[in-house]
Copies of this chain bind each other. A is one copy, B any other.
Protein backbone atom coordinates (compact mmCIF):
# COMPACT_ATOMS: atom_id res chain seq x y z
CA UNK A 1 0.00 0.00 0.00
CA UNK A 2 1.55 3.23 -1.07
CA UNK A 3 4.51 3.12 -3.39
CA UNK A 4 6.22 6.51 -3.25
CA UNK A 5 8.78 8.20 -5.41
CA UNK A 6 11.37 7.18 -2.84
CA UNK A 7 10.66 3.54 -3.55
CA UNK A 8 10.92 4.22 -7.25
CA UNK A 9 14.14 6.13 -6.83
CA UNK A 10 15.74 3.39 -4.78
CA UNK A 11 14.53 0.69 -7.09
CA UNK A 12 15.67 2.47 -10.23
CA UNK A 13 18.90 3.62 -8.68
CA UNK A 14 18.24 7.30 -9.29
CA UNK A 15 17.32 10.32 -7.21
CA UNK A 16 13.79 11.40 -6.39
CA UNK A 17 14.22 14.52 -8.44
CA UNK A 18 14.80 12.42 -11.51
CA UNK A 19 11.77 10.34 -10.77
CA UNK A 20 9.65 13.44 -10.42
CA UNK A 21 11.01 14.78 -13.66
CA UNK A 22 10.02 11.57 -15.42
CA UNK A 23 6.56 11.75 -13.93
CA UNK A 24 6.00 15.24 -15.20
CA UNK A 25 7.63 14.86 -18.57
CA UNK A 26 10.24 17.40 -17.81
CA UNK A 27 13.09 17.73 -20.25
CA UNK A 28 16.62 17.14 -19.07
CA UNK A 29 16.25 13.48 -18.40
CA UNK A 30 18.23 11.14 -20.59
CA UNK A 31 16.21 8.69 -22.62
CA UNK A 32 17.89 5.75 -20.93
CA UNK A 33 17.12 6.95 -17.44
CA UNK A 34 13.58 7.77 -18.39
CA UNK A 35 12.78 4.34 -19.73
CA UNK A 36 14.39 2.70 -16.73
CA UNK A 37 12.32 4.77 -14.32
CA UNK A 38 9.15 4.24 -16.31
CA UNK A 39 9.63 0.51 -16.30
CA UNK A 40 10.12 0.48 -12.53
CA UNK A 41 6.99 2.61 -12.19
CA UNK A 42 5.07 0.06 -14.15
CA UNK A 43 6.54 -2.86 -12.27
CA UNK A 44 5.72 -1.45 -8.86
CA UNK A 45 2.35 -0.26 -10.14
CA UNK A 46 3.12 3.18 -8.95
CA UNK A 47 0.41 5.80 -8.65
CA UNK A 48 1.24 9.35 -7.74
CA UNK A 49 -0.61 10.68 -4.74
CA UNK A 50 -3.00 13.35 -5.89
CA UNK A 51 -3.05 15.45 -2.76
CA UNK A 52 0.69 15.43 -2.40
CA UNK A 53 1.11 16.57 -5.97
CA UNK A 54 -1.38 19.28 -5.42
CA UNK A 55 0.11 20.52 -2.22
CA UNK A 56 3.56 20.69 -3.67
CA UNK A 57 2.61 22.10 -7.03
CA UNK A 58 -0.08 24.40 -5.75
CA UNK A 59 -2.40 23.34 -8.50
CA UNK A 60 -5.56 21.33 -7.91
CA UNK A 61 -6.65 20.58 -11.43
CA UNK A 62 -10.17 21.04 -10.22
CA UNK A 63 -12.79 23.68 -10.81
CA UNK A 64 -16.17 24.19 -9.26
CA UNK A 65 -19.48 25.07 -10.86
CA UNK A 66 -22.02 26.90 -8.75
CA UNK A 67 -25.31 26.43 -10.45
CA UNK A 68 -28.96 26.87 -9.53
CA UNK A 69 -30.81 23.65 -9.01
CA UNK A 70 -29.76 21.77 -12.06
CA UNK A 71 -32.90 19.77 -12.49
CA UNK A 72 -33.84 22.63 -14.73
CA UNK A 73 -33.22 21.45 -18.28
CA UNK A 74 -31.65 24.73 -19.14
CA UNK A 75 -28.83 24.09 -16.69
CA UNK A 76 -28.54 20.45 -17.50
CA UNK A 77 -27.63 21.30 -21.04
CA UNK A 78 -25.18 23.99 -20.04
CA UNK A 79 -23.63 21.59 -17.58
CA UNK A 80 -23.21 19.02 -20.28
CA UNK A 81 -21.16 21.50 -22.27
CA UNK A 82 -19.08 22.38 -19.24
CA UNK A 83 -18.51 18.76 -18.40
CA UNK A 84 -17.47 17.83 -21.91
CA UNK A 85 -14.79 20.47 -22.09
CA UNK A 86 -13.61 19.74 -18.56
CA UNK A 87 -13.17 16.13 -19.60
CA UNK A 88 -11.28 17.14 -22.72
CA UNK A 89 -8.77 19.26 -20.87
CA UNK A 90 -8.54 16.86 -17.96
CA UNK A 91 -9.99 18.99 -15.19
CA UNK A 92 -12.16 17.66 -12.41
CA UNK A 93 -15.49 19.34 -11.98
CA UNK A 94 -17.00 19.83 -8.55
CA UNK A 95 -20.71 20.40 -8.73
CA UNK A 96 -22.35 22.79 -6.31
CA UNK A 97 -26.10 22.86 -6.83
CA UNK A 98 -27.82 25.75 -5.14
CA UNK A 99 -31.19 24.87 -3.68
CA UNK A 100 -31.49 27.58 -1.08
CA UNK A 101 -30.25 31.11 -1.37
CA UNK A 102 -27.93 30.77 1.56
CA UNK A 103 -26.04 28.03 -0.19
CA UNK A 104 -24.70 30.55 -2.69
CA UNK A 105 -22.36 32.09 -0.17
CA UNK A 106 -21.48 28.74 1.30
CA UNK A 107 -20.31 27.46 -2.04
CA UNK A 108 -18.55 30.67 -2.92
CA UNK A 109 -16.68 30.51 0.35
CA UNK A 110 -15.83 26.91 -0.19
CA UNK A 111 -14.55 27.61 -3.65
CA UNK A 112 -12.43 30.44 -2.33
CA UNK A 113 -10.95 28.17 0.30
CA UNK A 114 -7.26 28.20 -0.38
CA UNK A 115 -6.05 25.25 -2.34
CA UNK A 116 -9.49 23.96 -3.06
CA UNK A 117 -10.08 24.72 -6.71
CA UNK A 118 -8.25 26.51 -9.49
CA UNK A 119 -11.27 28.22 -10.94
CA UNK A 120 -14.97 28.81 -10.57
CA UNK A 121 -17.96 28.95 -12.86
CA UNK A 122 -20.90 30.90 -11.54
CA UNK A 123 -24.27 30.66 -13.18
CA UNK A 124 -27.38 32.74 -13.52
CA UNK A 125 -27.26 34.39 -10.15
CA UNK A 126 -26.15 37.76 -9.02
CA UNK A 127 -22.61 37.58 -7.68
CA UNK A 128 -22.72 39.15 -4.22
CA UNK A 129 -20.69 42.33 -4.37
CA UNK A 130 -18.63 41.37 -1.35
CA UNK A 131 -17.16 38.44 -3.22
CA UNK A 132 -15.88 40.49 -6.10
CA UNK A 133 -12.83 41.64 -4.23
CA UNK A 134 -12.31 38.28 -2.60
CA UNK A 135 -11.92 36.59 -5.94
CA UNK A 136 -9.46 39.22 -7.01
CA UNK A 137 -7.52 38.99 -3.78
CA UNK A 138 -7.25 35.25 -4.03
CA UNK A 139 -6.38 35.50 -7.72
CA UNK A 140 -9.02 32.89 -8.32
CA UNK A 141 -10.28 32.80 -11.89
CA UNK A 142 -14.04 33.23 -12.16
CA UNK A 143 -16.31 33.06 -15.18
CA UNK A 144 -19.89 34.24 -15.02
CA UNK A 145 -22.54 32.65 -17.17
CA UNK A 146 -25.96 34.10 -17.78
CA UNK A 147 -25.07 36.90 -15.40
CA UNK A 148 -22.59 39.71 -15.49
CA UNK A 149 -19.95 41.68 -13.70
CA UNK A 150 -17.54 44.02 -15.43
CA UNK A 151 -14.44 42.71 -13.73
CA UNK A 152 -14.86 39.06 -14.68
CA UNK A 153 -15.23 37.09 -17.88
CA UNK A 154 -18.90 36.80 -18.65
CA UNK A 155 -21.11 34.94 -21.05
CA UNK A 156 -24.53 36.26 -21.61
CA UNK A 157 -27.58 36.00 -23.75
CA UNK A 158 -29.22 39.06 -25.19
CA UNK A 159 -32.39 38.69 -23.24
CA UNK A 160 -33.64 42.09 -24.20
CA UNK A 161 -33.18 41.36 -27.89
CA UNK A 162 -34.77 38.00 -27.39
CA UNK A 163 -37.87 39.50 -25.83
CA UNK A 164 -37.95 42.01 -28.61
CA UNK A 165 -37.72 39.44 -31.38
CA UNK A 166 -40.23 37.12 -29.79
CA UNK A 167 -42.79 39.85 -29.38
CA UNK A 168 -42.17 41.26 -32.83
CA UNK A 169 -42.82 37.81 -34.21
CA UNK A 170 -46.22 37.73 -32.57
CA UNK A 171 -46.95 41.25 -33.74
CA UNK A 172 -45.94 40.21 -37.22
CA UNK A 173 -48.53 37.46 -37.10
CA UNK A 174 -51.16 40.08 -36.52
CA UNK A 175 -51.54 39.89 -32.78
CA UNK A 176 -51.93 43.13 -30.91
CA UNK A 177 -53.26 41.99 -27.57
CA UNK A 178 -50.19 40.19 -26.31
CA UNK A 179 -49.64 39.21 -22.70
CA UNK A 180 -46.45 38.13 -21.05
CA UNK A 181 -45.97 35.39 -18.50
CA UNK A 182 -42.80 36.13 -16.64
CA UNK A 183 -40.74 34.72 -13.80
CA UNK A 184 -39.51 36.67 -10.80
CA UNK A 185 -38.57 40.22 -11.64
CA UNK A 186 -35.79 39.82 -9.13
CA UNK A 187 -33.87 38.06 -11.84
CA UNK A 188 -32.15 39.95 -14.54
CA UNK A 189 -33.22 37.73 -17.43
CA UNK A 190 -36.85 38.22 -16.45
CA UNK A 191 -36.47 41.97 -16.36
CA UNK A 192 -34.58 42.11 -19.62
CA UNK A 193 -36.95 39.88 -21.51
CA UNK A 194 -39.79 42.01 -20.33
CA UNK A 195 -38.03 45.17 -21.43
CA UNK A 196 -37.73 43.70 -24.91
CA UNK A 197 -41.38 42.74 -24.90
CA UNK A 198 -42.32 46.23 -23.84
CA UNK A 199 -40.16 47.91 -26.41
CA UNK A 200 -41.59 45.78 -29.22
CA UNK A 201 -45.10 46.79 -28.26
CA UNK A 202 -44.27 50.44 -27.93
CA UNK A 203 -42.40 50.69 -31.19
CA UNK A 204 -45.65 49.55 -32.77
CA UNK A 205 -47.58 52.17 -30.86
CA UNK A 206 -49.18 49.68 -28.54
CA UNK A 207 -49.27 50.74 -24.93
CA UNK A 208 -47.52 48.48 -22.43
CA UNK A 209 -50.09 47.34 -19.91
CA UNK A 210 -49.10 46.22 -16.45
CA UNK A 211 -52.17 44.04 -16.12
CA UNK A 212 -51.02 41.97 -19.07
CA UNK A 213 -47.84 40.87 -17.41
CA UNK A 214 -47.94 38.10 -14.86
CA UNK A 215 -44.68 37.74 -13.03
CA UNK A 216 -44.65 34.75 -10.77
CA UNK A 217 -41.82 33.88 -8.48
CA UNK A 218 -43.54 30.84 -7.10
CA UNK A 219 -41.70 27.58 -6.64
CA UNK A 220 -38.19 26.69 -7.62
CA UNK A 221 -35.85 28.68 -9.78
CA UNK A 222 -37.40 32.08 -9.24
CA UNK A 223 -40.55 31.12 -11.04
CA UNK A 224 -38.85 29.49 -14.00
CA UNK A 225 -40.77 26.26 -13.54
CA UNK A 226 -43.76 24.42 -14.83
CA UNK A 227 -46.09 24.99 -11.92
CA UNK A 228 -45.55 28.72 -12.02
CA UNK A 229 -46.30 28.67 -15.73
CA UNK A 230 -49.47 26.72 -15.20
CA UNK A 231 -50.62 29.01 -12.45
CA UNK A 232 -49.89 32.14 -14.41
CA UNK A 233 -51.70 30.93 -17.49
CA UNK A 234 -54.74 29.99 -15.42
CA UNK A 235 -54.84 33.44 -13.95
CA UNK A 236 -54.43 35.00 -17.33
CA UNK A 237 -57.24 32.98 -18.85
CA UNK A 238 -59.55 33.59 -15.93
CA UNK A 239 -59.47 37.32 -16.52
CA UNK A 240 -59.49 37.18 -20.28
CA UNK A 241 -63.13 37.91 -20.84
CA UNK A 242 -63.13 41.69 -21.06
CA UNK A 243 -62.95 43.71 -24.27
CA UNK A 244 -59.85 43.33 -26.39
CA UNK A 245 -59.05 39.83 -25.17
CA UNK A 246 -55.55 38.49 -25.35
CA UNK A 247 -54.70 36.42 -28.40
CA UNK A 248 -51.05 35.73 -27.77
CA UNK A 249 -48.61 35.26 -24.92
CA UNK A 250 -44.89 35.63 -24.68
CA UNK A 251 -43.63 33.31 -21.96
CA UNK A 252 -40.27 33.82 -20.32
CA UNK A 253 -39.15 30.20 -20.56
CA UNK A 254 -40.03 26.86 -22.11
CA UNK A 255 -40.60 25.14 -18.81
CA UNK A 256 -43.15 27.72 -17.89
CA UNK A 257 -44.68 27.33 -21.32
CA UNK A 258 -45.14 23.61 -20.72
CA UNK A 259 -47.15 24.43 -17.63
CA UNK A 260 -49.04 27.10 -19.50
CA UNK A 261 -50.00 24.61 -22.19
CA UNK A 262 -51.41 22.35 -19.53
CA UNK A 263 -53.44 25.19 -18.10
CA UNK A 264 -54.74 26.09 -21.54
CA UNK A 265 -55.72 22.53 -22.16
CA UNK A 266 -57.58 22.31 -18.86
CA UNK A 267 -59.45 25.47 -19.72
CA UNK A 268 -60.24 24.17 -23.21
CA UNK A 269 -58.32 26.99 -24.74
CA UNK A 270 -56.65 25.97 -27.96
CA UNK A 271 -53.05 26.74 -28.71
CA UNK A 272 -52.31 28.28 -31.12
CA UNK A 273 -55.83 28.83 -32.45
CA UNK A 274 -57.16 30.74 -29.45
CA UNK A 275 -53.90 31.83 -27.96
CA UNK A 276 -50.54 31.85 -29.69
CA UNK A 277 -47.48 31.14 -27.62
CA UNK A 278 -43.83 32.04 -27.98
CA UNK A 279 -41.41 31.16 -25.24
CA UNK A 280 -37.70 31.20 -24.51
CA UNK A 281 -34.77 28.72 -24.27
CA UNK A 282 -35.41 25.88 -26.68
CA UNK A 283 -34.84 23.09 -24.24
CA UNK A 284 -34.98 19.66 -25.75
CA UNK A 285 -38.64 19.31 -24.95
CA UNK A 286 -39.63 22.44 -26.74
CA UNK A 287 -39.40 20.37 -29.85
CA UNK A 288 -41.63 17.71 -28.41
CA UNK A 289 -44.19 20.24 -27.32
CA UNK A 290 -43.83 22.11 -30.61
CA UNK A 291 -43.07 25.37 -28.95
CA UNK A 292 -42.02 28.36 -30.95
CA UNK A 293 -39.22 29.70 -28.86
CA UNK A 294 -36.12 31.86 -28.66
CA UNK A 295 -33.27 29.45 -28.84
CA UNK A 296 -30.35 29.86 -26.48
CA UNK A 297 -27.29 27.83 -27.41
CA UNK A 298 -27.04 26.28 -24.00
CA UNK A 299 -24.59 23.52 -24.72
CA UNK A 300 -22.31 25.92 -26.53
CA UNK A 301 -22.54 28.38 -23.69
CA UNK A 302 -21.41 25.68 -21.30
CA UNK A 303 -18.52 24.75 -23.50
CA UNK A 304 -17.45 28.33 -23.99
CA UNK A 305 -17.66 29.01 -20.28
CA UNK A 306 -15.31 26.18 -19.52
CA UNK A 307 -12.99 27.20 -22.31
CA UNK A 308 -12.85 30.73 -21.04
CA UNK A 309 -12.12 29.57 -17.56
CA UNK A 310 -9.36 27.37 -18.84
CA UNK A 311 -7.67 30.18 -20.74
CA UNK A 312 -8.06 32.46 -17.80
CA UNK A 313 -6.38 29.92 -15.56
CA UNK A 314 -3.43 29.95 -17.90
CA UNK A 315 -3.34 33.69 -18.35
CA UNK A 316 -4.72 35.32 -15.22
CA UNK A 317 -3.65 38.75 -16.35
CA UNK A 318 -5.81 39.09 -19.44
CA UNK A 319 -8.58 41.66 -19.37
CA UNK A 320 -12.08 40.35 -18.76
CA UNK A 321 -14.13 39.54 -21.82
CA UNK A 322 -17.84 39.55 -22.41
CA UNK A 323 -19.46 37.24 -24.92
CA UNK A 324 -23.09 37.70 -25.86
CA UNK A 325 -25.28 35.30 -27.72
CA UNK A 326 -28.25 36.54 -29.67
CA UNK A 327 -31.08 34.08 -29.29
CA UNK A 328 -32.61 32.65 -32.45
CA UNK A 329 -36.27 32.47 -33.21
CA UNK A 330 -37.26 28.85 -33.76
CA UNK A 331 -40.66 28.63 -35.32
CA UNK A 332 -42.82 25.66 -34.46
CA UNK A 333 -46.47 25.12 -34.00
CA UNK A 334 -47.37 27.02 -30.85
CA UNK A 335 -47.24 30.46 -32.42
CA UNK A 336 -49.61 29.61 -35.21
CA UNK A 337 -47.23 30.59 -37.97
CA UNK A 338 -47.82 27.62 -40.13
CA UNK A 339 -44.66 26.38 -41.68
CA UNK A 340 -45.14 22.67 -41.62
CA UNK A 341 -45.73 19.99 -44.21
CA UNK A 342 -49.38 19.48 -45.04
CA UNK A 343 -50.13 16.18 -43.28
CA UNK A 344 -49.24 17.58 -39.93
CA UNK A 345 -51.52 20.54 -40.34
CA UNK A 346 -54.46 18.32 -39.76
CA UNK A 347 -53.42 16.99 -36.46
CA UNK A 348 -55.19 18.29 -33.50
CA UNK A 349 -53.04 17.14 -30.69
CA UNK A 350 -50.52 14.97 -29.09
CA UNK A 351 -52.66 11.95 -28.54
CA UNK A 352 -55.49 11.97 -30.96
CA UNK A 353 -55.39 13.28 -34.48
CA UNK A 354 -58.55 14.58 -36.04
CA UNK A 355 -61.11 11.81 -36.32
CA UNK A 356 -60.77 10.76 -39.89
CA UNK A 357 -64.17 11.97 -40.93
Hey, which bits of chain A sit against chain B, CB under 8 A?
Answer: 2, 47-52, 54-55, 60, 62, 69-71, 73, 76-77, 79-80, 83-84, 87, 92-97, 99, 103, 110, 112-116, 226, 258, 261-262, 265-266, 268, 270-273, 284-285, 288-290, 333-334, 343-344, 347-353, 356
Closest CB-CB distance, A237 to chain B, in whole Å? 13
Partner of A51, one of B55, B265, B334, B353: B55
Closest B residue to A47 by CB, please name it: B114
In the complex, chain B residues whose CB is within 8 Å of the CB of A48: 113-114
In the complex, chain B residues whose CB is within 8 Å of the CB of A272: 351
Partner of A349, one of B70, B93, B258, B351: B351
Partner of A115, one of B50, B114, B289: B50
Closest B residue to A350 by CB, please name it: B350
Closest CB-CB distance, A52 to chain B, in whole Å? 6
User: Is B268 touching A49 in the complex (CB atoms < 8 A)?
Assistant: no
Closest B residue to A355 by CB, please name it: B348
- What CA separation (Å) do A50 and B51 show in the bound complex? 9
Chain A interface secondary structure, helix, strand, loop or mixed?
Answer: mixed
Q: Which 6 A-B pairs have the closest CB atoms?
A: A349-B349, A350-B350, A51-B115, A50-B116, A51-B55, A50-B115
Closest B residue to A259 by CB, please name it: B288
Closest CB-CB distance, A319 to chain B, in whole Å? 22
In the complex, chain B residues whose CB is within 8 Å of the CB of A52: 55, 115
- What CA separation (Å) do A262 and B351 show in the bound complex? 9
User: Is B344 touching A266 in the complex (CB atoms < 8 A)?
Assistant: yes
In the complex, chain B residues whose CB is within 8 Å of the CB of A353: 265, 268, 270
In the complex, chain B residues whose CB is within 8 Å of the CB of A356: 268
User: Is B93 touching A94 in the complex (CB atoms < 8 A)?
Assistant: yes
- What CA separation (Å) do A271 and B353 show in the bound complex? 9
- What CA separation (Å) do A290 and B52 show in the bound complex? 53
In the complex, chain B residues whose CB is within 8 Å of the CB of A99: 84, 87
User: Is B114 touching A2 in the complex (CB atoms < 8 A)?
Assistant: yes
Closest B residue to A64 by CB, please name it: B92
User: Is B95 touching A95 in the complex (CB atoms < 8 A)?
Assistant: yes
Partner of A333, one of B115, B288, B351: B351
In the complex, chain B residues whose CB is within 8 Å of the CB of A50: 60, 113-116
- What CA separation (Å) do A268 and B345 show in the bound complex? 12
Closest CB-CB distance, A145 to chain B, in whole Å? 16
User: Is A265 touching B114 in the complex (CB atoms < 8 A)?
Assistant: no
- What CA separation (Å) do A112 and B47 show in the bound complex? 9
Partner of A350, one of B77, B112, B351: B351
User: Is A103 touching B115 in the complex (CB atoms < 8 A)?
Assistant: no
